[in-house]
Structures are given as structure tokens and as C-alpha cells.
């Protein structure tokens, strides 16, 4: 807030510029440390009792890859925002929080111990809260921000418990020390599941996934950032970073949750009508996919998918933002009113927004996992690791394996449906609108991200995912399976055919639209009992605690009255008594000297008389 | 010849009545009168005790002294009473209270 309101346009230059600088710095770090031994530095942070906590950075291949991706995507989103948010009155806060968001995420990426990660983890939660609720005048936005914050808190509570368990049994938070001696006697599974709890909250896994679709109330570039580079990516990144701590049974649980999330997200995305909601559920589904991969032990596949997903999902969001922005501008000019995010109102925009259409098509095909896209590679990596993980014996893992394929099928369906409904077919509400492509500031980031959605950035061979990224992350030999690539490609093409076939069908299953009523379930199972308990607690508080307090207060009041009475009567009485005694004595002695001569004589004689009588007796 | 106790009783009676008059009478002149009574009571005592020693006359001489002094005293006292009366328009000492409060 250093810049005065009048010059708030300055931030729209400085903010992308600074991020460009940090991107270049990240590139430098990348150049220095990629495929080299991990770089670790740490300083003493603070001492508590006999323990010393350190803070430092640990740059492995994983974190320097993430460093580059986060700064690069943040830079593009910032750049895009200068066009998208132009004219917003709170632009300074917006860019400030955007920068803070990126900073917190970079903190998670660089931190070398779990405590520091937790600190930045919370900061990410806070800045996402600020950004989702950027348009705080809208009650939905404020609610969504609160919801995101609370859901994250629930997960973070688990994370915190995990930290306590680790501290209690290992006595250190440093990742390197933990990875060298990963023996937490008896508590390993509990600790890893608790940490996974934090991941569930941050990466919107089942059952804490309700906040992500709601978070669409924020500005679209923020959604792009949340879904691609920061926030939800933090969970998967953490999972990859601490995977060494996870026991096989904990990993099985992780895979189960991931598979469930992927399926639920994909089915829910199929039945949404809001562009951003479709993308949100798709992100949930993809995150589930990544967590599933991490659960199978192939965290390098998860990270590969995280990176490719960061590019194409950011691109999709920016493209969706471009559609929304363009239609909104057109609406303002022609004074028409309809919900620009509802795909039922849209259609045939290919002619009016050809550039956005191409971008949407490229990034959408990456999401769907069409061959020659980056999504195909990373999906292939995950499916390969799933194939190896399920084993040859038939077990519950086969169901998860089937879920993996089902999700990739569903992904094609909803992506195709979204693109088809928006850009093909007859025009609906937009037919009389003259729609213009968004400004250059928005188109350039989209084009760059779309270019990143091709296979070439990640591997030379479009059918072999073990390119430079994967081989640098994975220490074991390649798990690439040729037949999986072929099967996956055929499967995607088959899904494409099915999608074309059912393109005009309305999917109205309310179970999907409401994401399996998870929100209502949470409401009923969690919210109602919590409210009930809260009511009881309130009642108890009112009746017993307040009653106790009131009684105490009453007793004190009585005691005060007694003390007051004592003071008034006894102490004051003593003083008053002394005073009136003196007064009485005074007036008694005064009364002898009443100015009456004969009385003086009498008093002079009286003692003599007394004396005489005494002598005589 | 009466025994001496009769005289002494009479003197004491006279003294007491003089004292009572001095204390209870309002009028200043009556107070002076009471003082005369007390002086005479002492005179009576002086004369009565002198009777025990027939060869000396000091008692009787002293009584004469007292009478003279009493006359002087009465003269001064009456003069004071008259001037007080002139100034305050009252012979009652209780009503003369200029110093009180």
C-alpha cells in the first residue's frame, strides 16, 4: 500500500515486473541446482527450552522445478490480471495479495523443515482467503472465502497434530534428518495420516473438497493461480516432499482417498453448467489423480502431472476468464443481462472469439489427455505407475486401477462437452452481442501457457513420459510401459467418440450436479451435531457457568454490603465515637465556665464541701 | 455561760446561709449581703474562740478589723454594683455576658 490511490495503476506494472524478476531468479536457481546434489542452508530460528528450531531452505530437483513453475505461472497470471482487473477499485490490495500468495507458496517450496512449511501453509490459506473474498461486497464471495478458510483449518488441525506426533517421537522437524531416519516407533502411520489430513484440506480431497468450487467466486485469475501454481498444488507438493515418511498402509489410504476424489470430481464436473465450476471439479478430479499417484508411491508421476496440470489448467482458467471478460464487456455495452458463466446460455462462440477458442482447445486437449499434449504424458505416467502398483494378484487395488481409467474417460467427456457447448453449436444468448477478443495483456499469457501444454516441453518423445522432468525426479529406472501408452491413447480416442456421440445430451443427474450431496452430508453429519453441541454448550454456559458467576457476584455483593455496613457502623462509629467523646468532654468542661459568676463560686466551693464531708466521715 | 459549740454551730449556720445566699441569689446586692453574713460568721467564731483565752484580746481586735474591712468591702462592692447597674441597666450578674461568645 505504498502507492497512493491515485497512482494505483502503477502496481499493475510493478507487480508483474517484480514477479518477472523472481521468475528470472528462479530460473537462475534452477540452472544452478537442477540435477545437482540438494542445496541446503539453515539458520537458527529460535530456542525453546532446550530445543533449537532452525529455519532454512532445501533445494532439491523437486523444489527447484516447483520454484520455476510457481514463479512463472504467477508472473503470467499477474500479467493477465493487469488486463482482467483493470479499473477495479481495490487493485492495490489485489496485487498485494497476489504477490503475498506467491511468496507464501514459494515459502512452502523452499522450506527445509515441517514447522516452516506449516507456517507458510497457513499463510497460503490466509492469502487465498483474502483473494477469494476479493469482491467482499458480494455475500457469496465472502461466504466462499470463509468456507475455504474453515475447510483448510480442519485439514490444518490434522497437520498440526501430525507435527506434534513427529516432534514427540523424532524430536526434529528437519526434512533431511527425518528422511535419513524415518523410524517413528509405532507412530509412523498416525503421523503420516495426520499430515495427509493437511493435504486433504489444502488440495481439496474427499471429503474436504466443497470449498474449491465455491472459491470460484473470486476473480478468475485468482482461480487460475489457486488451481495451478499455489494453494492446491501445495498439498501435492508436500505429499511428494514428505513421501518418505509414509508407511505402506498410509500410502494405501492416500491412494484410496485420491481415487475416490478423482472419481467424485470427474462425475460432478460432468453435470455442472458454470464454466468455472466445471473447471473447479475438474481440478478436484485431477488433484485426486495426483494424490492417487502419490499413494501408489510414484510421487514423481504426481509431480509431473502437477506441473503439466499447472500449465494447462492455468491456461484453461485464463481462457475461461477471457470468455467471461469478453462477454461481460459486451454485456455492459449492449445493456443485456444474463449469466455469462452459464454454458447453457453460451454457444457458437468460435467465430466471435477464435483466439480464445484455439487456446481453449489446446489446453482442453491437454486436460483430456489427447496424445501429443502434456496431459497425455503425465496421465500416462500415472496410469503406468498404477499398473505396476496394482500387482498381478487381484485385489482392491484393481478397483482403484479401474477408477484411474474411468476418470481419464470422464475427463474427456466433460472437457469435450464444455468446449463444444461454449464454442460450437448454435449461438444462444450471445447472438446479438458484438464480442471482442480481450486485450493483449490477457492474450499473451494465454498463448504462452498454451504453448506449455504441448508435449515438447516435458519430453521429446510424445509417447514416452520419462523425459527430462520425470527422470530427474525419479531415482529408479523408468517405469514406462509401452502398451499403457497405446491403451491410453486408444482409450482417449474412444472417449472422444463417445463424447461426440452424446454431445447434445443434457446431463441432469442431481447426484452429480451436487457432487454426491457431499456438502449436504457434511451439513447434516457435521454441521447439525456441531450446532447441537454448540447449543448445549451455550445452554450449559448460560445456566451453569453464568449461574456460578452470578452467584459469585451476588455473594461478593453481599460481602461488600456487609463490609460497607461494618465500615460505616464499626469503624466510622469508632472514629465518630472518639470524636463525640471528645466533644462531650469538651462541652462538659465548657459547661463549668458558663460565664456565671455564682456558678464559678459554687464549683469552687463544691470540692471543698466534698473534701470536708470526706474528712468528717 | 454557753459552751463554745453553740457559738460554733451558730457561726457555721450563719456561714452556710451566707454561702447559700451568695450562690443562689440573683441580685448582686443580695450576694453582697450574703458575703456580709459569711464575714459575720467568721467574726462570731473569732470572738467565740477568744472567749477561751480571757487574758488576750487578739480575737476581738481581729473581729474589729474584719468589721472595718467588711465596711470597706461593702462600700467598694456597692460602688461596683452601682456602676455595673448604670452600665448594663441590670443588677443581675447572670445577664451580664459580654465575653460569652
Q: B86 to chain A, minimum CA–CA distance in Å?
A: 19
Structural domains for chain B: 4-90 (1.10.287.3510)
- Residues from chain A that touch B22, judged by Cβ atoms under 8 A, are 598, 601
Backbone torsion region of residue A219, taken as left when φ is above 0, otherwise alpha when ψ lies between -120 and 50, otherwise beta = beta
What are the residues whose beta carbons fall under 8 Å from the beta carbon of A260, sequence distance 6 or more? Answer: A206, A288, A403
- CB of B24 within 8 Å of any CB in chain A? yes
- Residues from chain A that touch B24, judged by Cβ atoms under 8 A, are 598
Give me the pLDDT at residue B15, please: 92
Give me the pLDDT at residue A7, please: 66
Q: Assess contact for A221 and A77: CB atoms under 8 A.
A: yes
Residue recorded with cell 457469496: A140
Mean of the pLDDT values across residues A119-147? 84
Among A595, A603, A605, the residue to mutate for chain B (most B Cβ within 10 A): A595
Residue recorded with cell 510421487: A299
Q: A585 to chain B, minimum CA–CA distance in Å?
A: 19
Closest CA relative to residue A111, chosen from A40, A37, A196, A202: A40
Of B19, B93, B99, the CB nearest to A605: B19
Q: b/e map of A63-95 (b: 16 or more CB within 10 Å)?
A: bbbbbbbbbbbbbbbbbbbbbbbeebeebbbbb
Tens-place pLDDT, residues B67-78: 999 999 999 999
pLDDT band at B10 (very low <50, low <70, confident <90, very high): very high
Specify the DSSP element, H or E, that contains A396: helix A396-423
Tens-place pLDDT, residues A424-445: 777 776 666 677 777 777 788 8
Beta bridge partners of B16: none
Question: Distance (Å, rounded) from C-alpha A10 to C-alpha A16?
Answer: 11
Question: Distance (Å, rounded) from C-alpha A355 to C-alpha A332?
Answer: 22
- CB of B99 within 8 Å of any CB in chain A? yes
Q: Assess contact for A117 and A238: CB atoms under 8 A.
A: yes
Of A594, A595, A598, the CB nearest to B23: A598
Residue A523 has pLDDT above 80, yes or no: no
Of B19, B24, B93, the CB nearest to A597: B93
Residue A49 CA: distances (Å) to CA of A53, A524, B74: 11, 45, 108
Of B22, B97, B100, the CB nearest to A601: B22
Residue A2 has pLDDT above 60, yes or no: no
Of B19, B22, B97, the CB nearest to A595: B97
- Residues from chain A that touch B23, judged by Cβ atoms under 8 A, are 598, 601-602, 605
- CB of B31 within 8 Å of any CB in chain A? yes
Least confidently predicted of A296-305, A314-323, A343-352: A343-352
pTM, full prediction: 0.71
pLDDT band at A510 (very low <50, low <70, confident <90, very high): low
CB contact under 8 A, A594 and B100: yes
Q: A555 to chain B, minimum CA–CA distance in Å?
A: 54
Of B23, B97, B99, the CB nearest to A601: B23
Tens-place pLDDT, residues A76-107: 888 888 877 777 777 788 888 888 888 888 88
Q: B46 to chain A, minimum CA–CA distance in Å?
A: 20
Give me the pLDDT at residue A182, please: 57
Give me the pLDDT at residue B21, please: 92
What are the residues whose beta carbons fall under 8 Å from the beta carbon of A136, sequence distance 6 or more? Answer: A142, A145
ipTM computed for the complex: 0.81
Give me the pLDDT at residue A1, please: 46
Q: A603 to chain B, minimum CA–CA distance in Å?
A: 10
CB contact under 8 A, A594 and B31: no
Tens-place pLDDT, residues B26-57: 888 898 999 999 999 999 999 999 888 888 88
Residue A350 has pLDDT above 50, yes or no: yes
Q: Assess contact for A226 and A215: CB atoms under 8 A.
A: yes
What are the residues whose beta carbons fall under 8 Å from the beta carbon of A553, sequence distance 6 or more? Answer: none
Tens-place pLDDT, residues A447-456: 888 887 877 7
CB contact under 8 A, A595 and B100: yes
Beta bridge partners of A56: A42
Tens-place pLDDT, residues A227-240: 877 788 888 888 88
Q: B97 to chain A, minimum CA–CA distance in Å?
A: 6
Which of A308-312, A442-446, A505-509, B6-10 is modeled with the greatest confidence?
B6-10
CA-nearest residue of chain A to B98? A595
pLDDT band at A614 (very low <50, low <70, confident <90, very high): very high
Q: Assess contact for A436 and A356: CB atoms under 8 A.
A: no
Proportion of chain A above pLDDT 90, given as a percent: 5
Q: Assess contact for A247 and A188: CB atoms under 8 A.
A: yes
Tens-place pLDDT, residues A7-19: 666 777 777 788 8
Least confidently predicted of A258-262, A526-530, A596-600, B56-60: A526-530
Amino acid at each position: 500500500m505504498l502507492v497512493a490511490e491515485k497512482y494505483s495503476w502503477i502496481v499493475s506494472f510493478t507487480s508483474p515486473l517484480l514477479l518477472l524478476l523472481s521468475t528470472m531468479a528462479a530460473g537462475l536457481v534452477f540452472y544452478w541446482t537442477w540435477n545437482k546434489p540438494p542445496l541446503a542452508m539453515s539458520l537458527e530460528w529460535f530456542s525453546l527450552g532446550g530445543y533449537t528450531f532452525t529455519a532454512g531452505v532445501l533445494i532439491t530437483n523437486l523444489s527447484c522445478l516447483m520454484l520455476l513453475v510457481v514463479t512463472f505461472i504467477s508472473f503470467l497470471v499477474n500479467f493477465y490480471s493487469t488486463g482482467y482487473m483493470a479499473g477495479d477499485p481495490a487493485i492495490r490490495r489485489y496485487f498485494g495479495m497476489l504477490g503475498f500468495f506467491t511468496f507464501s507458496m514459494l515459502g512452502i517450496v523452499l522450506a527445509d523443515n515441517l514447522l516452516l512449511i506449516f507456517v507458510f501453509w497457513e499463510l497460503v490459506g490466509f492469502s487465498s482467503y483474502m483473494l477469494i473474498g476479493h469482491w467482499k461486497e458480494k455475500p457469496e464471495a465472502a461466504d466462499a472465502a470463509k468456507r475455504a478458510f474453515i475447510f483448510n483449518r480442519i485439514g490444518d488441525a490434522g497437520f498440526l497434530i501430525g507435527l506434534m506426533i513427529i516432534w514427540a517421537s523424532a524430536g526434529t522437524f528437519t526434512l533431511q534428518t527425518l528422511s535419513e531416519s524415518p523410524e517413528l516407533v509405532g507412530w509412523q502411520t498416525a503421523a503420516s495420516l495426520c499430515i495427509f489430513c493437511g493435504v486433504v484440506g489444502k488440495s481439496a480431497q474427499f471429503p474436504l473438497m466443497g470449498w474449491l468450487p465455491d472459491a470460484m467466486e473470486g476473480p478468475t485469475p485468482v482461480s487460475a493461480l489457486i488451481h495451478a501454481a499455489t494453494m492446491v498444488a501445495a498439498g501435492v507438493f508436500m505429499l511428494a516432499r514428505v513421501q518418505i515418511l509414509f508407511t505402506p498402509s498410509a500410502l494405501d489410504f492416500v491412494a484410496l482417498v485420491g481415487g475416490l476424489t478423482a472419481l467424485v470430481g470427474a462425475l460432478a464436473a460432468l453435470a455442472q453448467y458454470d464454466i468455472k465450476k466445471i473447471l473447479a471439479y475438474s481440478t478436484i478430479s485431477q488433484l485426486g489423480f495426483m494424490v492417487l499417484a502419490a499413494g501408489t508411491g510414484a510421487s514423481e508421476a504426481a509431480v509431473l502431472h502437477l506441473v503439466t496440470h499447472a500449465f494447462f489448467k492455468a491456461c484453461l482458467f485464463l481462457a475461461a476468464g477471457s470468455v467471461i471478460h469478453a462477454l461481460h464487456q459486451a454485456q455492459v455495452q449492449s445493456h443485456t443481462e444474463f449469466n455469462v458463466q452459464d454454458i447453457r446460455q453460451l454457444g457458437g462462440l468460435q467465430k466471435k472469439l477464435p483466439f480464445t477458442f484455439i487456446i481453449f482447445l489446446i489446453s482442453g486437449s491437454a486436460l483430456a489427455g489427447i496424445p501429443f499434449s502434456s496431459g497425455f504424458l503425465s496421465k500416462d505416467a500415472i496410469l503406468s505407475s498404477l499398473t505396476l502398483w496394482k500387482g498381478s494378484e487381484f485385489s482392491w487395488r484393481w478397483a482403484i486401477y479401474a477408477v484411474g481409467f474411468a476418470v481419464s474417460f470422464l475427463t474427456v467427456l466433460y472437457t469435450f462437452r464444455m468446449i463444444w457447448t461454449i464454442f460450437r453449436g448454435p449461438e444462444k444468448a450471445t447472438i446479438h452481442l458484438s464480442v471482442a477478443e480481450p486485450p493483449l495483456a490477457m492474450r499473451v499469457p494465454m498463448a504462452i501457457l498454451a504453448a506449455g501444454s504441448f508435449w515438447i516441453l516435458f519430453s521429446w518423445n510424445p509417447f514416452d513420459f520419462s523425459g527430462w522432468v520425470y527422470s530427474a525426479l525419479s531415482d529408479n529406472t523408468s517405469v514406462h510401459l509401452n502398451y499403457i501408452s497405446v491403451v491410453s491413447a486408444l482409450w482417449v480416442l474412444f472417449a472422444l467418440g463417445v463424447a461426440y456421440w452424446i454431445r447434445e445430451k443434457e446431463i441432469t443427474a442431481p447426484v452429480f450436479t451436487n457432487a454426491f450431496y457431499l456438502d449436504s452430508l457434511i451439513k447434516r453429519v457435521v454441521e447439525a451435531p456441531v450446532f447441537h453441541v454448540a447449543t448445549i454448550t451455550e445452554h450449559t454456559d448460560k445456566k451453569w457457568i453464568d449461574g456460578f458467576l452470578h452467584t459469585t457476584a451476588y455473594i461478593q455483593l453481599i460481602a461488600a454490603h456487609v463490609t460497607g455496613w461494618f465500615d460505616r457502623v464499626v469503624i466510622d462509629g469508632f472514629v465518630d465515637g472518639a470524636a463525640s467523646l471528645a466533644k462531650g468532654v469538651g462541652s462538659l468542661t465548657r459547661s463549668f465556665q458558663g460565664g456565671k459568676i455564682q456558678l464559678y463560686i459554687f464549683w469552687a466551693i463544691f470540692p471543698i464541701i466534698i473534701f470536708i464531708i470526706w474528712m468528717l466521715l | 455561760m454557753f459552751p463554745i459549740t453553740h457559738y460554733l454551730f451558730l457561726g457555721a449556720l450563719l456561714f452556710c446561709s451566707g454561702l447559700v445566699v451568695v450562690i443562689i441569689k440573683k441580685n448582686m446586692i443580695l450576694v453582697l449581703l450574703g458575703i456580709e453574713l459569711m464575714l459575720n460568721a467568721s467574726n462570731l467564731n473569732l470572738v467565740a474562740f477568744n472567749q477561751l483565752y480571757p487574758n488576750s484580746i487578739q480575737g476581738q481586735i481581729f473581729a474589729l478589723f474584719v468589721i472595718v474591712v467588711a465596711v470597706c468591702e461593702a462600700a467598694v462592692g456597692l460602688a461596683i454594683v452601682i456602676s455595673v447597674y448604670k452600665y448594663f441597666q441590670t443588677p443581675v450578674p447572670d445577664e451580664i455576658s459580654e465575653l460569652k461568645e
